[in-house]
Amino acid sequence: MSLPEKVRLVEVGPRDGLQNEAQPISVADKVRLVDDLSAAGLSYIEVGSFVSPKWVPQMAGSAEVFAKIQQYSGVTYAALAPNLRGFEDALAAGVKEVAVFAAASEAFSQRNINCSISDSLQRFVPIMEAARQHGVRVRGYVSCVLGCPYEGMINAEQVAPVARELYAMGCYEVSLGDTIGTGTPGATRRLFDVVSAQVPREQLAGHFHDTYGQALANVYASLLEGISVFDSSVAGLGGCPYAKGASGNVASEDVLYMLQGLGIDTGIDLERLIAAGLRISEVLGRASGSRVARARHAQ
C-alpha cells in the first residue's frame, strides 16, 4: 500500500497534553497556545474538556478558553464531552465537534470510569442523539489498543468490536490510542489490518504515546496501512498517569518533520509549530519534549 499524499494532524496538546499538569495554567496561556497552533496551520485542535473540575482541574475554564480564542476559518476546534452534561456545556460554549472515549480493556474501563466497556458505550447514546439534533460532529477514541497497565498486551480482536460500535453509533472517525506507549510497528500494522475489517481505514486514526520510544515508528507503520490521520501533541505535552515513566504523546513537531521528509503534505508551518511548543514549554518551566524542537533550538 502506498503512503498517503496528505495527512491531517489532530493537535491534542491543549487538552490531552495539559490535563495532567500539576501546576495551574492560566486561561490566557491556554488561549495563547491555541492561537499559536492555529497560526501554525493546524486544521484540527482539541481545545479543552467539559468535565468536572473536581476530576480534571486543568480543564476548568474550557468555556472561557473557547470564548477567547481566535477561531480561524476551516479549523476545527473540538472538546472532550464524556457525558450528556459535558455535551450540553460544550454546546453552550459554541463547540461544533466533541469527542467521546471508550477503552479496549475491561480492567482499564473499570479502574478509569468505574463501569464496563458495554456500559460506557451505552452512556454515549444520549450524547450521539443530542449531537445529531444540534448538528455537532462526534469523534470517538479507543484507549489501550496495544497495551493496558492492568491487563498487559491487548489483542486487536479486543479493539475491533469497540471501534465498530463507536462507528455504528455515529462517530465519523475513530482514533485508536496506544495509551501507555508499549506498542510496536508490527503490532500496530496488525491492529489496523484487523480493525479495518470493521471500520473503513478512511475513518480510522492513530494516537501514539512515546513511553518506549516507538511512537514515530508506529506512525510510520500506520502510514503503510493507509492511515492518514494522527493525534499528536505540541512539545510532546502530556504524560500517561497509568504508566510509570510515560513520556506522553508523540510530539507534533517530530511527526511533522518525518512527514515532510516523506514528501507528505500537511499544510503546517514547522517553524511556527516549534515556536508554539517552545512558548508553552517555557510557561511550564521545562524543555520541550520534541527532539526536533530541541535540535533546532540548539543550533
User: What are 50-86's pLDDT values in tens digits?
Assistant: 988 777 778 888 999 999 999 999 999 999 999 999 9
Catalytic residue chosen out of the listed positions 144, 148, 171, 240: 240
2 falls within a domain: no
Q: Which domain holds residue 275?
A: 8-298
User: If residue 221 lies in a helix (H) or strand (E), which one and from where to where?
Assistant: helix 215-224
Sort strands 173-178 and 152-153 into parallel, antiparallel or unpaired.
unpaired
270 falls within a domain: yes
178 falls within a domain: yes
Which contacts (CB < 8 Å, 24+ apart) does range 21-26 have? 21/58, 21/284, 23/284, 23/285, 24/57, 24/58, 25/58, 25/283, 25/284
User: What are 204-219's pLDDT values in tens digits?
Assistant: 999 999 999 999 999 9
Of 214, 209, 207, 254, the C-alpha closest to 231 is: 207
Tell me the backbone φ, ψ of residue 162, rounded to 5 degrees.
-70, -45
pTM, 2 dp:
0.95
User: What is the rounded CA–CA span in Å between residue 146 and residue 169?
Assistant: 23
20 falls within a domain: yes
Cell of 61: 475554564
Cell of 41: 496551520
40 falls within a domain: yes
Per the structure, how many domains does the chain have? 1
Residue 61 three-state SS? coil
Mean pLDDT by 10 residues, the chain (299 residues): 93 92 91 98 97 80 96 97 95 97 92 88 96 98 95 96 98 96 97 98 97 96 98 88 66 98 97 98 93 88
Residue entry with cell 486543568: 58
- Is position 240 annotated as part of the catalytic site? yes
1 falls within a domain: no
User: What is the rounded CA–CA span in Å between residue 215 and residue 77?
Assistant: 25
290 falls within a domain: yes
* CATH code, 75: 3.20.20.70
Cell of 25: 495554567
39 falls within a domain: yes
